[in-house]
Structure 1
Amino acid sequence: MPKVTANGIEIHYEEHGDKANPPLLLIMGFGAQLTLWPDELVEALAGHGFRVIRYDNRDIGLSQKFDGVKAPGLIKMTLLSKIGLTPRVPYTLADMADDGAGLLDALGIDKAHIVGASMGGMIAQHFAARHADKCLSLTSIFSTTGNPKLPPAKPEALKALVTRPKSTEEEVLVEHGMMLARTIGSPGYPSDEERLRERTRASVRRSFYPEGPTRHLSAIVADGDRREMLKSISVPTLVLHGEDDPLVPCEGGHDTAASIPGAKLKTIPGWGHDLPLALVDEVADAIADHARTSVRQTQ
Structure 2
Amino acid sequence: MIQRAAANGIEIAYESFGSPAGRPLLLIMGLGAQLIHWDDDFCELLAEQGHHVVRFDNRDAGLSTHLHDEGVPQWGAPSPYLLDDLADDSAALMDVLGWPAAHVVGASMGGMIAQALAIRHPGRVLSLTSIMSTPGPQAAPPTEAAAAVLLAKPAADREAVVADALRTWAVIGSPGYELDRERVSRLAGLAFDRCHDPAGTARQLAAILASGDRTSPLGGLKVPALVIHGEDDQLVPVAGGRATAAAIPGARLVTYPGMGHDLPRPLWPAIVAEVGAHTGSVTAAVTEP
- TM-score using structure 1 length: 0.91
**Other-structure match for 2:100:** 110
Q: Secondary structure at the match of 1:25?
A: strand
SS in 1 for 2:142: coil
Tell me the equivalent position of 1:123.
113
Summarize the alignment of residues 1-299 of structure 1 with structure 2, pairs less than 5 Å apart: 1-70=2-71, 72-74=73-75, 76=76, 88-146=78-136, 148=138, 150-166=139-155, 168-295=156-283
Q: TM-score, normalised on structure 2?
A: 0.95
Aligned length: 285
Any idea what SS the aligned residue of 2:226 has? strand
SS at match of 2:104: strand
**Structure 2 CA distance, aligned partners of 1:276 and 1:251?**
20
In structure 1, runs of 5+ residues without a counterpart are 77-86
> Which amino acid in 1 is paired with 2:25?
L
Q: Deviations over 1:172-201 (max 9, x none)?
A: 111112211221100011222223222222
Alpha-carbon separation, structure 2, partners of 1:120 and 1:139: 10
Secondary structure of the residue aligned to 2:282 is helix
Q: Distance in 2 between matches of 1:6 and 1:243?
A: 36
Could you tell me whether the CA contact under 8 Å between 2:87 and 2:113 is conserved in 1?
yes
- Aligned partners of 1:147 and 1:227 also within 8 Å: no
- State how far apart, in whole Å, the 1-side matches of 2:201 and 2:14 are: 19
Report the Cα offset of residue 292 of structure 1: 0.7
Query: 1:239 Cα shift?
Result: 0.3
1:120-178 deviation line (CA, Å, top 9, x unaligned): 00000011111111111000000001163x34211111111121234x22111111122
- Is the contact made by 1:25 and 1:54 (CA closer than 8 Å) also made in structure 2? yes
Report the aligned-residue RMSD.
Answer: 1.6
**Alpha-carbon distance between aligned partners in 1 of 2:274 and 2:43, rounded to the nearest angstrom:** 13
1:127 corresponds to which letter in structure 2? L
Displacement after TM superposition at 1:70 (Å): 3.8
